Structure 1
């Protein structure tokens, strides 16, 4: 995976060349990713769905993250990112099922790791029963949902804990209903600007 080739860009989205995934993250080259957020209106409230990253993941294990996401390889277009939804969640969608929220920049930083992403962001806002998910064990260990309004309050610091509900999968892939109190530190630390732009785009979609 670290040897996969990705297209590289400058911060404004101008093509520069290609580099391996390892080099891209080591040197901080801008590159393309596919992000698909699941949301659903239940009653009068909108909810956002997060994947729980597997404990086997090298980066950010066990944290809540975008419902499905992945890198776009050098020979692919952003439309090929649909494979991430199928691979990670076992949910097969078509482009017609999604709403485009545009390209939104995001940067994730940790020691020896600089992930500068030009994110092609999409929204899926239809109901999917939890028993329809077939999670990729090495990537995803559960699906949790939070109220959108509570998530916004959590991310902005207006509240310190919110409820997340959904399921976690055991090693045998058994889905166990789960209800947790989570803090901002339980989520992958995406840039505030990315999260706020995604939320605003969701509201306007």
Structure 2
């Protein structure tokens, strides 16, 4: 969870040419970019990770398979590949990644963080058994595979939904629809 340099964007996701520490971007509410990689299996399950208990935002909640900030000057795909390797020990190639869009998230998860972030979202097939993944304990405390329909049910149940990072429901619906489309 080291503080890293990231590129600052405007509200149209265009680079301002400014580079700041991630902590500064969060403190000041500056727009920046991240990658989200949603991993799915051929039997229609989605890998979710439980965020580590020491995370500044949403500790111990279930979240996207892999996510992270895009480093200053870093290409999106390179960031996605790096994050998958760091967080869960999964080696991906650019050809494994399917870009499905970007999503603006404007959240204030606590009084110290204003997170204005463009998520660049990728899908990838998970072909490695989850028992063979190596979790980065500072970031991830658990992973599990959940059937797509079960995730949909969880997001409709107000109590169970509290166990997930509170992304906008439109974001979750977009992701689950895109993954479901891969099986039709």
Using the size of structure 2 for normalisation, the TM-score is 0.88
Which consecutive unaligned segments of at least 5 residues does structure 1 have? 162-182
Listed one character per residue, the Cα deviations across residues 24-70 of structure 1 (whole Å, up to 9, x for unaligned) are: 1112111111111111132xxx2111111112222222111111110
Which consecutive unaligned segments of at least 5 residues does structure 2 have? none
Distance (whole Å) between structure 1 residues aligned to residue 8 and residue 174 of structure 2 = 23
Deviation at 1:160, TM superposition (A): 4.6
Q: Which residue of 2 aligns with 1:64?
A: 62
Deviation at 1:117, TM superposition (A): 1.3
Over the residues paired in the alignment, what is the CA RMSD in angstroms? 1.7
SS of 2:143 mapped into structure 1: strand
SS of 1:41 mapped into structure 2: coil
Alpha carbons 1:108, 1:191 under 8 Å: kept = no
Alpha carbons 2:62, 2:163 under 8 Å: kept = yes
Q: Which residue of 1 aligns with 2:27?
A: 26
Alpha carbons 2:41, 2:127 under 8 Å: kept = yes
Count of residues in Structure 1 that have an aligned counterpart in Structure 2: 178
Deviation at 1:146, TM superposition (A): 1.8
Alpha carbons 1:105, 1:194 under 8 Å: kept = no
Question: Is 1:14 equivalent to 2:14 in the alignment?
Answer: yes
Question: Is 1:93 equivalent to 2:88 in the alignment?
Answer: no
Question: Structure 1 stretches (4+) deviating beyond 6 angstroms?
Answer: none
Distance (whole Å) between structure 2 residues aligned to residue 125 and residue 141 of structure 1 = 22
Q: Which residue of 1 aligns with 2:168?
A: 191
Listed one character per residue, the Cα deviations across residues 100-123 of structure 1 (whole Å, up to 9, x for unaligned) are: 112222233222211111111111
Using the size of structure 1 for normalisation, the TM-score is 0.79
Q: Which residue of 2 aligns with 1:104?
A: 103
Q: Which residue of 2 aligns with 1:131?
A: 131
SS of 1:96 mapped into structure 2: helix
Q: Which residue of 1 aligns with 2:177?
A: 200
